[in-house]
Structure 1
């Protein structure tokens, strides 16, 4: 339909021409949620690695200071000036002391411990309080703080009839739940806690769900 100046345009449905193009047409995307992405053969992702900024910064600063001092002393010697007193004394001590000297052994032990500490920091993930969760998207990694997971378990346990107070201690592989019940039979309360907490742990979506340890006592008794 043509338009003239000053007139309103109208829209009319155009005829639809059907064409059999199923061979070259891509399939319609699925509307259901994608399955969880498996990081490994068992579908479990690795732990989060800490950046180790504080140890790395301290080591880098110490190396920078030590290298700068040595470069300054070497440049001073090249400029026909006397070397620093502490470097002359250090060279004399290293040249005169035998290897079985007590101070040499102490210095070697301290250097070995520092090196071992740096190696441990380099090969361990760290971030022990951050529990990795199962991945549902290839580009997204999620983690749950241990305190938040323990709070979830505590809230679910407090919903059980007869439970007066709950204390949850959660680590990477174990969840210790200590509940105090002021009425109902202890075995019944513990059975309900086992069922509810097992469901709560599964609902956290952790790659390695912690093992549950539940204990129920009466008020005023330790157990």
Structure 2
């Protein structure tokens, strides 16, 4: 009797609006943990993409500023100690004071500085790491992510396990998953329905914080 109870099958159903019978996904998440796949068509509250350290842009910006400051400070100290100003600084001062505001080079320099400032501002206010997808979390102190390429491989493997699919191309975005499959046998409509079920089951296993929509295209390839 105890053995029969231990071997009781795990059952759960998943609704498919398009087609296909109910399948049996994996057992429900442990108590207190995230529910599979998060809220339907939405994202988990309080879960965001981690912020990038921006080490390379920060290092390049700091290095450029340090070099310019060091060269300028060295020339100012040399002038204060009785030496002559560097030719480049004298010429730069003359060019800036003599050229009109509507000069071509003045405009080009202003545009370059504005674009550089906008680039630095965007880096400061955006998290970056677009190739990382945040996962659901039950503990506020633990944060998990999955690489976008790894998610593509898992979803493509799930698509290739569907009978009739000979090739599958998967693109994973923040809000949408696009799947294009080639069908060697079976009706494309039946294969598409099975693909939707298989992809949704695999998406539940990923525990993504933001659940993207799935767009499947199945086309027959007989040759």
Higher RCO (CA-CA < 8 Å; seq separation 6+): 2
Gaps of 5+ in 2: 1-29
- The match for 2:173 among 159, 171, 174 is 171
- C-alpha distance after superposition, 1:120-157 (max 9, x if no partner): 11111111010000112222100011111111111111
Alpha carbons 2:134, 2:209 under 8 Å: kept: yes
Partner of residue 192 from structure 1, selected from 191, 194, 214: 194
Distance 1:36 1:212, change over 3 A: closer
Answer yes or no: is 1:35 the counterpart of 2:4: no
Q: How far apart are residue 35 of structure 1 and its match? A: 3.5
Indicate the residue corresponding to 2:72 in structure 1.
Answer: 70
CA contact (8 A) 2:184 2:222 kept: no
Contact 2:33 2:137 in 1 (8 A): no
SS in 2 for 1:169: strand
Q: In structure 1, how many angstroms separate the alpha carbons of the residues matched to 2:87 and 2:155?
A: 64
1:44–1:207 CA contact under 8 A, matched in 2: no
Contact kept, 8 Å, 1:36 with 1:137, in 2: the verdict is no
> Does the aligned pair in 1 maintain the 2:44–2:136 contact within 8 Å?
no
In structure 2, C-alpha distance between the alignment counterparts of 1:42 and 1:136, rounded to whole Å? 11
Structure 1 length-normalised TM: 0.79
- Cα distance in 2 for residues equivalent to 1:91 and 1:43: 55
- Whole-Å Cα distance in 2 between the matches of residues 117 and 195 of structure 1? 42
Unmatched 5+ stretches in structure 1: 1-31
Secondary structure at the aligned position of 2:151 is classed as helix
Tell me how far apart the structure 2 counterparts of residues 159 and 35 of structure 1 sit (CA, whole Å). Answer: 29
The structure whose Rg is larger is 1
Task: Report the Cα offset of residue 43 of structure 1.
Answer: 2.5
Compute the TM-score of the two structures, normalised by the length of structure 2. Answer: 0.79
4+ runs deviating over 4 angstroms: none
1:1-223 to 2 correspondences below 5 Å: 33-36=31-34, 43-219=45-221
Q: Is the CA contact 2:176–2:214 (under 8 Å) kept in the aligned structure 1?
A: yes
Q: Secondary structure at the match of 1:179?
A: strand
Residue 18 (structure 1) aligns with: none
Report the Cα distance in structure 2 between the residues aligned to 1:127 and 1:154, rounded to whole angstroms.
22
Deviation at 1:42, TM superposition (A): 5.0
- Is the contact between residue 49 and residue 127 of structure 2 (CA under 8 Å) also seen in structure 1? yes
Aligned residues: 188
1:164–1:184 distance in 2 versus 1, CA, 3 Å:
same
